Amino acid sequence: MQHYHKEYEPPEELRDAIKCFWYDRRAFGEDLSGLEVLPDGYAEIIFYFGSGCSVETEGGLQALPSPFMVGLLDQPVNYYSKGWLEIIAVRCFPWTVFDLLGLPAGKDAVHIFEHPIARLQTGLDVLMRANRVGEALDEVKQYFMDARSKIATDSMLFKAGVAMRKANGTLPVSEVAAAAHATVRTLERNFKQSSGHTVKDVSAVMRFEQVRNQLWTYPETNIAGLAQELGYTDQSHLSREFKRYSGTTPAAFARRSKKRKQAVSGDFVAFVQDQD
């Protein structure tokens, strides 16, 4: 599969809400192909161009509009497409994305929503057809710059998020609250209201992401040592959490990563792996 991926740092004004913007281009071939999305510590807004995109649900494949949102995942999700697919996406911190867009927080893996941001699609499609990817990215960035300028920063959530990211999700909730100068109860209430998840939920996914990235990049990593480094009780604890979020064991994931290391490059993004 032909694949190109690039990430872009957000402007300074957006760095308390957005991790990065990214562009992805893939050639799937003539037949419908699946891609597995593994959980990470972010929510993402996805604009796509070219072939259609569907998500696997209990009732079968569901066609997705552009844009759609991938919420904070707690298990893998499978997407399907064929032909060429191009993506412009916004990777947001889960405690900021709903406030940024003026949406009620939700826990769904995939959010199909009605929002003024969808009006960007027509203009972006024109730019992408003309291969003016940089200009399309600038349009999306400007939209979020305007949105960010209209909302007040929640300093408590910002401080909590900084502490959580710095510790890669390893801080106990009490220490996150202390870093945010708030009580545990107040922090949890505000955090869940803004993200749809608890501090513990998000921290667990952030920690899983560290394990996943390490094993993807360095499949030979000692798992017991990684468990100790990231604050798991022991290797069994890490393995249980890893399987909960990925559906596989860390050892099996490492073997899979090693096998594909030369064939696949780049960091994990919304669409990360071909399915076997």
Average pLDDT estimate for 227-233: 91
In a 13 Å sphere around the CA of 236, the CA atoms on its Cβ side amount to: 0
Q: Within a domain: residue 161?
A: no
Helix, strand, coil percentages (3-state) for the chain, rounded to 5, are 45, 20, 35
> In whole angstroms, what is the distance from residue 132 CA to residue 140 CA?
13
Number of structural domains the chain divides into: 1
> Nearest to residue 55, comparing CAs of 122, 107, 111, 125?
111
Q: Within a domain: residue 211?
A: no
Distance of CA 107 to the CA centre of its chain: 14
Q: Within a domain: residue 31?
A: yes
Domain of residue 54 covers: 2-151+268-274
Q: Report pLDDT digits (tens) over 139-174.
A: 999 999 999 888 877 778 889 998 998 998 899 999
* DSSP type of residue 230: T
- C-alpha angle 18-246-253 in degrees, rounded to nearest 5: 110
Q: Report pLDDT digits (tens) over 233-242.
A: 999 999 999 9
| CATH code, domain with 22 | 2.60.120.10
